Homo-oligomer: A and B are copies of this chain.
Amino acid sequence: MARPVERRRHRTRQRREVLELLAATDEFISARQVHARLRERGSTIGLTTVYRTVQVLADAGEIDAVRLGSGEQHYRRCRDGHHHHHLICRHCFRTVEITGPAVEAWSRQIGGEHGYTDINHTVELFGTCNDCRQVAG
C-alpha cells in the first residue's frame, strides 16, 4: 500500500494572493479572471501558477469549481466547508449556496436501485434572480 506522502505546502505570496482574491469575491470567476484581477492590482503572478493553485485549492475542498455554460471552469471560495450546491443567476451569476439533504438522499437511493455504489453527484441550479428579472424580463 502506498501511504499518502506527507506533502507540506509552502506558504507563498502567490498562494496567498489567489486565496485572498477568492475570499473577497462573491461570485464565480475563472482562472484567467483571477489572473487578470491580480495583475491589475500589481501582482506579478503567472497564469500557470493561478491554474495550479486553483486546482490544488479545489482538490483540497477549499474552493468550489463549476462549469458555467462554456467549457470554462469557474471557482469560488465556499463559506460552508461542507458539501453543497449552488443556485446561480444565469445573467449576473449571483450565487447562493444551498444544501440539499433531500437530493443527497435521493441520489443515494437511485444509485442503490440500479446497483451503483459510491454515489457522487453534480447538482447546480440556474435561474434568473430577482434583480435581473426587473431589468430585462
A-side residues, CB < 8 A to B, are: 67, 71, 73, 87, 89-90, 96, 98, 100, 102-103, 106-107, 110-111, 114-130, 133
Contacts and interface: CB of A to CB of B under 8 A. Distances in A.
A126 B89 CA distance: 25
Contacts of A89: 116
A78 B40 CA distance: 46
A45 to B, nearest CB: 23
Contacts of A71: 67, 71, 73
Contacts of A122: 122-124, 126
A117 B128 contact: yes
Nearest to A122: B124
